[in-house]
């Protein structure tokens, strides 16, 4: 119930206004977001790479309603990749980028999918020049088919373009089977959006079982699995499964969010695993923050304190 209410709040302009103005909100934001600027993102990237972690940078923002803004988001990524390359942080995919299709135009009234694909292609070209990769984030279930189409359209030119599969969707095991092919990069997560029962598992246990099914398919296939979860049980299952199918440590990676289980991130990396941290930056952090609060009641104390103190 609470999770549903929070996810509904993430789409409300009125709640957004209250939360972004609240005095304590900033404390919560700095825990999950690198900062407002590319300088902040690069500073955090440098620090994480020095600690033996890998990074995926996300420029915060979604649901762009204007083609000029969509192009500006693509330009921000191109500039960021240029800076990562110049600073020696991108080579070999050490720092890559994650892109939301609605940030680069998917939701535009006219030619949204085409615009998004063109913008992603620009970002992929800049990433290739920098020696690194791009991964397409997955948003709500309406975006799944367009994202998979954009992926299929661009992979002939950019074979290492990756995508996200969310285990809460009933279709995901089939999607994983289709994507577990040579050269394909798939980030597997549980899913942070709402979806109707017909298309999504609603019970945590079902989502977790689906995750375990999907990770078995990906680890048993020929692609490059990116196992994005903080769940200790699933991380353990992944390790056991990877050993069972003879996966070398460099042939898959674990991923976690910036600010979540940092000690576990370091433990996995120091044990020889590839461990990537998803690092968001930018001033449009509202939707991202509310999704983080929705998945962990412990963070809600901060959130509620911010709301009360606006009163
Ligand atoms: P879950 O939230 O069920 O937690 C399981 C267990 O993990 C907990 O019981 C606890 O033991 C541990 N845990 C979780 N959070 C913790 C914390 N803060 N502190 C301590 N322990 C904690 N979603 C999406 O819909 N589209 C996307 O594109 C992406 N992209 C993405 C990239 C990356 C790199 C990650 C890690 C995640 C995403 N997500 C996402 C978010 C994802 O779908 C999901 O909402 C969160 O990762 C939370 O799910 P968990 O797998 O961590 O399990």
d(CA 21, CA 285): 13
User: Are 229 and 235 spatial neighbours (Cβ–Cβ below 8 Å)?
Assistant: yes
Which of ligand 1's atoms lies nearest the C-alpha of 259? 18
0.85 surpassed by pTM: yes
User: Structural domain of residue 110, as residue ranges?
Assistant: 34-284
What is the pLDDT, as a whole number, of residue 205? 98
User: Are 69 and 285 spatial neighbours (Cβ–Cβ below 8 Å)?
Assistant: no
Provide mean pLDDT across the span 85-95: 98
* 84 CA → ligand 1 middle, Å: 26
Q: Any catalytic annotation for residue 137?
A: yes
Q: What is the dihedral of CA 61, 67, 73, 75, to 10 degrees?
A: 180
Kindly state whether residue 148 falls inside one of the protein's structural domains.
yes
Candidates 118, 115, 172, 124; CA nearest to 144 is 172
Provide mean pLDDT across the span 238-246: 97
> What is the rounded average pLDDT for all residues in the chain?
92
Kindly state whether residue 248 falls inside one of the protein's structural domains.
yes
Question: In the chain, how many domains are there?
Answer: 1
Q: Any catalytic annotation for residue 187?
A: yes
DSSP letters of 66-114? SHHHHHHHHHHHHHHHHHHHHTT-SGGGSEEEEE-GGGGTTT-TTTHHH
Provide mean pLDDT across the span 220-246: 98
What is the pLDDT, as a whole number, of residue 311? 35
CATH number at residue 233: 3.20.20.220
Candidates 59, 136, 46; CA nearest to 94 is 46
What is the pLDDT, as a whole number, of residue 305? 60
Kindly state whether residue 51 falls inside one of the protein's structural domains.
yes
Q: Is the CB of 211 under 6 A from ligand 1?
A: no
* 127 CA → ligand 1 middle, Å: 26
* 217 CA → ligand 1 middle, Å: 20
Given the residues 187, 194, 274, 276, select the one marked as catalytic. 187
């Amino acid at each position: 119930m609470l999770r549903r209410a929070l996810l509904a709040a993430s789409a409300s302009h009125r709640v957004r206004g209250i939360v972004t103005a609240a005095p304590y909100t900033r404390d919560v934001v700095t825990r999950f977001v690198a900062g407002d600027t590319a300088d902040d993102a690069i500073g955090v990237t440098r620090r994480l790479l020095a600690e033996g972690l890998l990074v995926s940078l996300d420029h915060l923002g979604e649901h762009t309603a204007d083609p000029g803004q969509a192009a500006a988001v693509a330009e921000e990524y191109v500039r960021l990749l240029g800076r990562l390359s110049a600073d020696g942080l991108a080579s070999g995919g050490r720092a890559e980028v994650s892109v939301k299709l609605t940030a680069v135009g998917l939701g535009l009234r006219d030619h949204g999918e085409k615009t998004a694909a063109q913008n992603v292609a620009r970002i992929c070209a800049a990433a290739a020049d920098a020696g690194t990769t791009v991964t397409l984030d997955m948003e709500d279930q309406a975006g799944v088919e367009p994202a998979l189409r954009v992926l299929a359209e661009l992979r002939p030119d950019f074979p290492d373009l990756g995508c996200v599969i969310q285990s809460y969707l009933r279709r995901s095991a089939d999607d994983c089977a289709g994507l577990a092919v040579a050269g394909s990069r798939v980030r597997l997560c549980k899913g942070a959006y709402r979806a109707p029962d017909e298309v999504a598992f609603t019970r945590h246990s079902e989502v977790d079982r689906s995750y375990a099914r999907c990770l078995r398919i990906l680890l048993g296939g020929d692609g490059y699995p990116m196992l994005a979860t903080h769940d200790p049980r699933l991380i353990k299952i992944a390790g056991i499964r990877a050993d069972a199918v003879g996966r070398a440590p460099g042939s898959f990676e674990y991923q976690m969010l910036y600010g979540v289980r940092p000690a576990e991130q370091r433990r996995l990396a120091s044990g020889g695993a590839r461990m990537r941290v998803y690092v968001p930056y930018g001033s449009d952090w509202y939707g991202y923050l509310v999704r983080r609060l929705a998945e962990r009641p412990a963070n809600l104390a901060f959130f509620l304190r911010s709301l009360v103190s606006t009163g």
